[in-house]
Amino acid sequence: SAASSVTVNGKTYPTDSWFNTPPKVLASIGRKLHLQNDHPVSITRQIIESMFPGPTFKAYNEFDPIVSTTENFDALGFPPDHPGRSKSDTYYINKDTLLRTHTSAHEAQLFRAAASDGYLISGDVYRRDEIDRSHYPVFHQLEGSRVWDRNAVPNGDVVAAIYADLARLPSHDVAVEDPNPPHHAERNPLQAEQGHTAAESEAVAAHLKRSLELMVVEIFLRAKAAAAKQDPNYVDEPLRVRWVEAYFPFTSPSWELEVYYAGDWLEVLGCGVTQQKILVDAGVPSKIGWAFGIGLERIAMLLFQIPDIRLFWSQDQRFLGQFAGVSENLDLLKRFVPFSKYPASKRDISFWLGRSTVSAAGGNDRAPVSVGDFHENDVMEIVRDVCGDTVEEVKLFDAFTHPKTGRRSMSYRINYRSLERTLTAKETNEMHRGVERALVEKLGVEIR
Ligand code: PHE
């Protein structure tokens, strides 16, 4: 029946109690901003791809974002109780099918296919998340990986082969801070028992770090060139990057690369030495290698100085028109010049979680959400559902537990602001009342 299935991109999937993907999110499947000519997300992809040329690297940009839980989690070593699997963090179609949360979901299939020594995957990824100017439930990632086959290198010496490849990479003169040792007893133990040696791991890591430093240097050189072109008073600050120890279930050791930008260290990507188990399970035990994943919107916001992530979804020529011709010639890259910013209206909303002492009147057939079941992302989803892209930010500004009743109170401030026009007070009030009603109906909260 219609109620128990959903059709996306011409494919029909059965749904079950795990189905939690709202129509607006489903509708963004197929927009493919990463492939839209002259779109900043696509331009950013092109710049990164240019740093990993063929024939070593092969690019895959058309994988279906609807994948199995196996591909997205199990094949990558995510434990069964990993929080990323929860319905509050991930959009599911059914128990076994979800909207990929990262492009790593396609790693295993490409290892198995063994079509090249390196690959790049870009695509739309989906995460239930907060609402602010840098978070949106759909964004784009670019994944890269490089492998070497111990059985297909001169003298069977894969370590020497990797260092020889490293020696062929250009150098750069950017200050790199790398304060952490590559291994940590618990978080990043030596992987010898997994099937690769410390010397292999070190060689792979050295190649990985240089490759990604070169990528970041290229991005920021382009950002600076764009800034200098438009602003004669632009002062060039030397680029600083640093490696920070990180954890991912499918790489070890793992790092995040951070760039010093506008007075802050900013995380730009996650990466690491691919765990041998992943390659063994994909049927290529003789290979070793590295992988990284980078968020394209975050980089595009820096490159083009785009102030709000919602803009990427705009069809407004005042936005899109500013990037005309850049896909064809990356040297035309310019900073985005914001068009008028329309006024914001803030409205607050406060509610109690837990069972009401007064009977809930009218149409509330949902069990009230208990404190333990409350997930902030559900509030975010409801706001997006009612208001679409007209909300710039939702922020918790107060929370307390009533000393007598033990009930929990939450207060959120919603910042309404359209990117395209001025909202009238009447329509803001109506949207706000709509949010209140939906919170009561869907979460069973009691408005204070
Ligand atoms: N998939 C990871 C993420 O989304 C990033 C990553 C990719 C980390 C590849 C390591 C290797 O956070």
Q: What is the domain partition of the chain in residue ranges?
A: 2-332, 345-447
Is a pLDDT exceeding 80 seen at residue 369? Answer: no
Whether 416 lines ligand 1, by a CB cut-off of 6 Å, is no
Mean pLDDT comparison of 109-123, 222-236, 350-364, highest-scoring range: 109-123
At residue 362, the pLDDT reads 38
Is a pLDDT exceeding 50 seen at residue 136? Answer: yes
Listed in sequence order, the DSSP H helices in 231-363 are: 276-281, 296-304, 317-320
CA atoms of 16 and 4, how far apart (whole Å): 7
Distance (Å) from CA 408 to ligand 1 centroid? 36
Is a pLDDT exceeding 60 seen at residue 378? Answer: yes
CA atoms of 414 and 411, how far apart (whole Å): 10
User: Going by C-beta distance under 8 Å and a sequence separation of 6 or more, which residues neighbour residue 371?
Assistant: 353, 354, 408
381 and 128 Cβ atoms separated by less than 8 Å: yes
At residue 172, the pLDDT reads 93
At residue 327, the pLDDT reads 97
With pLDDT > 70 as the criterion, what percentage of the chain qualifies? Answer: 93
Whether 276 lines ligand 1, by a CB cut-off of 6 Å, is no
Is a pLDDT exceeding 50 seen at residue 1? Answer: no
CA atoms of 369 and 352, how far apart (whole Å): 10
* CATH T-level assignment (fold) for domain 345-447: Alpha-Beta Plaits (3.30.70)
- Top pLDDT among 194 and 410 is at 410
Residue 246 CB-half CA count within 13 A: 21
Distance (Å) from CA 243 to ligand 1 centroid? 15
Mean pLDDT estimate for the chain: 92
Please return the burial class of 313, using the count of CB atoms within 10 Å of its CB with bins 0-12, 13-18 and 19+: middle
Is a pLDDT exceeding 50 seen at residue 356? Answer: no
Whether 251 lines ligand 1, by a CB cut-off of 6 Å, is yes
3-state secondary structure of 318: helix
The residue to mutate among 102, 122, 209, 279, having the most atoms of ligand 1 within 8 angstroms of its beta carbon, is 102
Whether 368 lines ligand 1, by a CB cut-off of 6 Å, is no
Listed residue (295, 179, 294) closest to 241, CA to CA: 179
Lowest pLDDT segment from 65-74, 179-188, 197-206, 331-340: 179-188
At residue 340, the pLDDT reads 81
Distance (Å) from CA 209 to ligand 1 centroid? 15
Is a pLDDT exceeding 90 seen at residue 254? Answer: yes
Distance (Å) from CA 210 to ligand 1 centroid? 18
Atom 4 of ligand 1: nearest residue by CA position:
102
For residue 292, which atom of ligand 1 is closest to its CA? 9
Is a pLDDT exceeding 50 seen at residue 357? Answer: no
Atom 6 of ligand 1: nearest residue by CA position:
293
Whether 126 lines ligand 1, by a CB cut-off of 6 Å, is no
265 and 259 Cβ atoms separated by less than 8 Å: yes
At residue 215, the pLDDT reads 96
Atom 10 of ligand 1: nearest residue by CA position:
271
Lowest pLDDT segment from 32-36, 145-149, 441-445: 441-445
Lowest pLDDT segment from 4-13, 135-144, 172-181, 271-280: 172-181
Whether 428 lines ligand 1, by a CB cut-off of 6 Å, is no
Q: To which residue do tokens 């749904």 refer?
A: 15
Listed residue (22, 136, 129, 6) closest to 438, CA to CA: 22
Is a pLDDT exceeding 60 seen at residue 416? Answer: yes
Q: What is the DSSP letter of 443?
A: I
3-state secondary structure of 249: coil
Distance (Å) from CA 293 to ligand 1 centroid? 4
Backbone φ/ψ region at 381: left (φ over 0), alpha (ψ -120 to 50), beta: alpha
413 and 346 Cβ atoms separated by less than 8 Å: yes
117 and 150 Cβ atoms separated by less than 8 Å: no
Distance (Å) from CA 201 to ligand 1 centroid? 18
Atom 12 of ligand 1: nearest residue by CA position:
270
Q: What is the DSSP letter of 337?
A: -
For residue 294, which atom of ligand 1 is closest to its CA? 5
CA atoms of 285 and 26, how far apart (whole Å): 37
Listed residue (248, 252, 246) closest to 275, CA to CA: 252
Listed residue (403, 435, 402, 400) closest to 416, CA to CA: 435
The residue to mutate among 248, 255, 294, having the most atoms of ligand 1 within 8 angstroms of its beta carbon, is 248
Is a pLDDT exceeding 90 seen at residue 180? Answer: no
Average pLDDT over residues 411-422: 95
For residue 290, which atom of ligand 1 is closest to its CA? 11
Residue 117 CB-half CA count within 13 A: 13
| Tens of pLDDT, residues 55-110 | 999 999 999 999 999 999 999 999 999 999 999 999 999 999 999 999 999 999 99
What the block records as the tokens of 379 is 């509030």
At residue 361, the pLDDT reads 40
Please return the burial class of 355, using the count of CB atoms within 10 Å of its CB with bins 0-12, 13-18 and 19+: middle
Whether 40 lines ligand 1, by a CB cut-off of 6 Å, is no
Average pLDDT over residues 370-379: 84
Distance (Å) from CA 248 to ligand 1 centroid? 7
| Tens of pLDDT, residues 319-353 | 999 999 999 999 999 999 998 889 999 999 999 99
For residue 144, which atom of ligand 1 is closest to its CA? 9
At residue 392, the pLDDT reads 96
Q: To which residue do tokens 């600050």 refer?
A: 237
For residue 125, which atom of ligand 1 is closest to its CA? 4
Listed residue (146, 126, 144, 148) closest to 135, CA to CA: 126
Q: CATH says 2-332 is which class?
A: alpha beta
At residue 364, the pLDDT reads 40
CA 70, 71, 77 angle in degrees (round to 5)? 70
pLDDT band for 246, please (50, 70, 90 cuts): very high
Distance (Å) from CA 292 to ligand 1 centroid? 6
Whether 268 lines ligand 1, by a CB cut-off of 6 Å, is no
Whether 73 lines ligand 1, by a CB cut-off of 6 Å, is no
At residue 182, the pLDDT reads 67
CA atoms of 157 and 226, how far apart (whole Å): 44
